[in-house]
Structures are given as structure tokens and as C-alpha cells.
Chain A
């Protein structure tokens, strides 16, 4: 095509109309919050209060710890699930069935109340009382981590299966052991498939960790509840908690994008359009050709 041809882009009137309608709706929602009976100064006062920041720190800590535990379990059980050994395969299947099947809320309660059936932990050389071992943090970690591990097992397994079998052939023919080939060749490629759902899992886990408030784990929601039981500013404190969850989720999403780019190594060479680029393309019909 000649570069100095003037091209009149196709106009997408439907997109303009729906865009205007949606922005109008957004305005209505924002307005409702402004006129609603929300004590905004209370929101402001508690947003950076020590109690809630402390709760936030616990939320982040338990999320990261459970995620690390889940990832370790996920990789181990995924490899077991794909192993030649039928007992390993069955064991892994049983794990997924149990910890994915039972509601997380229930699992948290069961871990927390474990002392009712096992009052003493006997390690042979030492004995502990279960109530001392099974702190709210431990119960939350086991409940969330084991549940997360079951989901991640399936995600990791899917990632490993997505790698072409020829890759393992090539690695093996170079003299790599199964484990080395897994670590150097298969898992790094599986990552590309694994990372996006893991990002979602991470965000999901952050929110699910609020259930640990039920077992007296002093995370963000728990702290907010303790305060509103006293001052009765229920909605204000829930808004503060929501605000913090959204902030952390936003930060996580940015991280996720960075990591995805890192593991797209060797795959993504084209340019990508961001939000604004897409908006411009939609509104004005593809890339502008300015001619000359």
C-alpha cells in the first residue's frame, strides 16, 4: 500500500454509545456513595490506624505463607500425579479429592479444633499440648495452604502436560535425568501456562484468608470486626477493609503482569496494546495511518 494514501478509518458508533452509557452508570454509583449516610471521617480515621495496619500485615503474611506452602505441595503432588508409580498417582489423587472437596471454612474449623480429638502431639522425643501447637496462625496456614495446594496441583499438572513431549525427548537425548529435564526444560515452559491462574489463585487466597477471622486469627477483617463491635460503625470499617483488599489486589496484579512477561521469554515479540491504545483503536478504528 502506498504510504501517502489518506485513509478514513471506519467509525464505530455503537462503541461510542455504549461507552457513554457505561460512564453515566459509573457516575450514578459514585454519587450514591457520596450522598449515602457514610461517616467518611471515621473511614479516614481508621484507614491508617495501627490496629488495621496490623491486621493487614497478618493478612499479607498468612497469604504469602499459605501460597508458598501451596506451591510446594502443588509441584510435588503434580509430579506425583504424573509419575510412573501407581501408588504415588493414587496418593496425589486422594489429596486433591480431600482438600479440594471439603469447604475451606470447614477445614479451618477442623484444624483449629484438632485438640478435641488429639489433645497431645507426640513426636517420640518430645510431647506438646495441641492447643499450644495449633495457634490460630498454624490452623489458618494448614487450612489455607493444604486447600491451595490441591488447586495448584491441578494447575501445575495442566502446565506440565501443556509442554510438548518432544521437549522431554530432546532433553533426555542430551543425557539429562528426568529430574534435571523437569527443572531446566519442562517446568520453565510450564510456567508460562501456570503463572496466570496462579496469579488469580493468589488474589483469591488473599480474600479467602478473611475466613480465618472465624478461628480468631487477627487478620484484616477480624480487626475491623473487633472495632465495629465496639463503636457500631459497621459500614465504615467494612469500607476500610474493602479499600485495603482492593489496594493489595491492585499491587498483586501489577506484579503478575511483570512475572508473566518474564516467563513469556522466547515467545512474545510483538508489541502489545495497553488500555489507552485499545481505547484509541476501538474509538478510531485501528491504527491511525497519518500518511507521508
Chain B
């Protein structure tokens, strides 16, 4: 479907903190239904890029389009006008984000966590929201945990709830920032399984991860980033089996050394 508008289009995205340039002109396209895995060493700007996509951080130059709409600005007569809070929130509501540290709301039960967005942001009827929440919990295998508090759950369970919470907003694009990095090794699988199911259901996903098996088996496209630049991109087969760039080779080598095959 080449004629369709991409779900995400990043054009020459620059981002600096003070004098320190973190993103040095990122260009990326993610089509609808595509799963993109973003790899790269620590500090290469992966998290920063994800946060720019839903405008948690403002970019210094370039354009980001989500589903064809410019993120954070309105363009009129060749000039950019900053969006107001309402416009920003409307855009963010359509982009799900899953964090390394889950960031569940600890003062709310699992169910309350999931219905919070739909009820307070989308003003959905609480009864409908609850019914949908149970459906989502079923999907992530936690139907019986609805009335527990986050602190009573394992890390893997918490991350699955966090995914359900994002999905409750019915986003068109899901961003994952190292969703399994804070987990004990034996809990990683259950989260990846949920993510794989989600990918198979046709969700558009950008996943920052160090889980190479997941990237090989689930991603449609793999992007390797280093020092704020996209160094290499392609299908998993191209990037993993025939990397063209030296830096990619070195990075993949170091990962393979560190993590034994799961």
C-alpha cells in the first residue's frame, strides 16, 4: 500500500539540550501496521526520539508527522505556530507510550489505571470503560488482577498492565521505550509475548529494545542509531545478517557477547 500516508514520518529531526546536540537530523518512515525496532548504544538518543514523537520534548528543527498531521505545530502560510495544550493533548491521546519503569499510577488499582485515560480524557462512560478494560486485561492475561494495586504485581505483570492502559486509549501508534529492560530475565518473555500478539493484530509500533530475538522475529524494519544519527536501516535480515556499516557490526557483536541466546 505505497499510496497510504505513513503512520510516522520524521524529517530531519534535530534536538539539543543546551549546546549538546542529541538528535542530528533523523529521517524515518513507519507505515501503518509496521513494527519498527530501534537499536543503538546507550546515549544514542533513542528515548529522546520517542519522547519527541508525542511532543513530551520539543524539537529544535525538522518535522514530525503522525498520521499525516504535524506534531506540536500548526503550519500556516509557511510559518509554524505552536499548538495549544488542548491540541497537544488530543494528539497524545492517539499515541500510546510504554516506559521502561512502567510508571503505573500506584494509588489506583489495575482497573482504575486502565480506565483513567478513557474516563478523564475521552470522557467515556465509566461502565463502558470498565467493560473494555476487562477485555484488555483478558488480552494481557491479567483478568483476575483487576482489583490489585501495582505494588502487589511483579514487574512483568505491571508492564502488561501498562500496555493495557495505553491500549485503552485506542491509539493508532504505540511507542515502547525498552519495555523489558527493568525486568528480571524470567519475566521478559511474558511481556514480549503480549507485544508480539499486538504486532500480529496489526498495531503500528516503534520499539526501542535490546531484545535481538524479538527484533529478528517480529520487526518489519530495524533501525540502528548511534550518536544522534540513523546509521543503518533495513529489514531484520539485512541489518542482522548483512550489516553494511562498521558501527552496526560492532554494536551487534557487543550485544551478542553480552546476552546469551534466549
Question: Interface readout for A246-269 with B: 1 if CB under 8 Å, 0 if not?
Answer: 000000000000000001011101
CA distance A188 to B97 in the complex (A): 22
Q: What residues on B are CB-neighbors of A174 within 8 Å?
A: 92-93, 116-117, 121, 165-166, 169
Complex contact A173–B56 (CB within 8 A): yes
Kindly state whether residue A175 has any CB partner on chain B within 8 Å: yes
Closest partner residue, chain A, to B107 (CB atom): A266
Q: Contact between B108 and A177 (Cβ–Cβ < 8 Å)?
A: no
The answer to the question of A169 belonging to the interface, with a C-beta cut-off of 8 Å to chain B, is yes
Among A175, A178, A184, residue most surrounded by chain B Cβ atoms (within 10 Å):
A175
CB distance from B174 to the nearest CB of A (A): 11
C-alpha gap A192/B152 in the complex (Å): 18
At the interface, yes or no: A82 with Cβ under 8 Å from chain B? no
CB-CB nearest in chain B for A174: B117
List the B side residues contacting A36 at CB < 8 Å: none
Restricting to B43-92, which residues have a CB under 8 Å from any CB of A?
54, 56, 85-86, 89-92
Q: Are B169 and A175 in contact (CB under 8 A)?
A: yes
Q: Using Cβ atoms and an 8 Å threshold, which residues of chain B touch A265?
A: 107, 149
A189 is an interface residue with CB less than 8 A from chain B: yes
The interface residues of chain B lying within 8 Å CB-to-CB of A189 are 105-107
Name the distance in Å between A97's Cβ and chain B's nearest Cβ: 31
The chain B residue sitting closest to A173, CB to CB, is B97
| A/B interface sample: 16 pairs, CB < 8 A | A170-B105, A171-B105, A173-B54, A173-B96, A173-B166, A174-B92, A174-B117, A175-B89, A175-B94, A175-B169, A189-B107, A192-B107, A263-B107, A266-B151, A267-B106, A267-B149
B103 is contacted by which of A169, A178, A192, A269 (Cβ under 8 Å)?
A169
B56 and A177 form a contact (CB under 8 A)? no
* Cα–Cα, bound, A174→B95 (Å): 8
Residue A214 interfacial (CB < 8 Å): no
Query: Which single residue of chain B is at the shortest CB-CB distance from A185?
Result: B105
Q: How far is the CA of A175 from the CA of B124 in the complex (A)?
A: 14
A-contacting residues, B187-241, CB 8 Å:
none
**Interface: B6 (CB within 8 A):** no
Question: Shortest Cβ distance from A59 into chain B, in angstroms?
Answer: 34
Contacts of A263 in B (CB 8 A): 107
The residue that A176 contacts in the complex, of B96, B97, B121, B149, with Cβ under 8 A, is B121
Interface residues, chain A, with chain B CB atoms under 8 Å away: 164, 166-167, 169-178, 180, 184-185, 188-189, 192, 263, 265-267, 269
CA distance A75 to B116 in the complex (A): 23
Minimal Cβ-Cβ distance residue in B for A179: B85
In the complex, chain A residues whose CB is within 8 Å of the CB of B91: 175
Docked CA distance A34–B169 (Å)? 70
A269 touches B120 (CB 8 A): no
Write the chain A residue with the least CB distance to B117.
Answer: A174
Main secondary structure of the interface of A (DSSP, over half): helix
* Chain A residue contacts of B151, Cβ below 8 A: 266-267, 269
Inter-chain CA distance A178–B103, complex, in Å, is: 17
B169 and chain A: residue at smallest CB distance: A174
**A175 adjacent to B152 (CB under 8 Å):** no
Complex interface: chain A residues within 8 A of B96 (CB): 173
A172 vs B150: C-alpha distance when bound (angstroms): 19
List 15 other contacts, CB 8 Å, given A175-B94, A267-B149: A169-B56, A170-B103, A170-B162, A173-B97, A174-B92, A174-B116, A174-B165, A175-B90, A175-B122, A176-B120, A177-B85, A184-B116, A263-B107, A266-B149, A269-B151
Q: Which of A166, A175, A180, A188 contacts B92 (CB 8 A)?
A: A175
Write out the residue numbers on chain A whose beta carbons fall within 8 Å of the beta carbon of B86: 177
B-side contacts of A170, CB under 8 Å = 97, 99, 103-105, 162
Q: Which of B136-188 contact A (CB under 8 A)?
A: 149-152, 162, 165-166, 169
Contacts of A172 in B (CB 8 A): 56, 92
Complex-state Cα separation, A184 to B103, whole angstroms: 14
Q: Are A266 and B106 in contact (CB under 8 A)?
A: yes
- Chain A residue numbers with a CB within 8 Å of B16 are none
A188, B117: Cα distance in complex, Å:
16
Tell me, in angstroms, the Cα distance from A266 to B110 when the chains sit together: 10
Q: Judge if B27 is at the interface, Cβ distance under 8 Å.
A: no
State A267–B152 Cα separation when bound (angstroms). Answer: 9
A167 touches B89 (CB 8 A): no
Q: A173-B97, A178-B85 are in contact. Are A167 and B92 (CB under 8 A)?
A: no
Complex CA gap A81/B152 in Å reads 35
Which 6 pairs of residues, A with B, have the shortest CB-CB distance? A175-B93, A170-B103, A174-B117, A173-B97, A266-B149, A166-B103
Q: How far is the CA of A265 from the CA of B162 in the complex (A)?
A: 19
Minimum CB–CB distance for A50 against chain B, Å: 46
Most buried by B among A167, A174, A188, A192: A174
Q: How far is the CB of A270 from chain B (nearest CB, A)?
A: 11
Q: Tell me the bound Cα distance from A136 to B155 in angstroms.
A: 58
Taking CB as reference atom, which chain B residue is nearest A183? B120
Q: Which residues of A contact B99 (CB under 8 A)?
A: 166, 169-170
A170 to B102, CA, bound (A): 9
Which interface residue of B99, B120, B122, B166 has the most chain A CB atoms within 10 A?
Answer: B120
Shortest distance between the CB of A250 and any CB in chain B (Å): 29
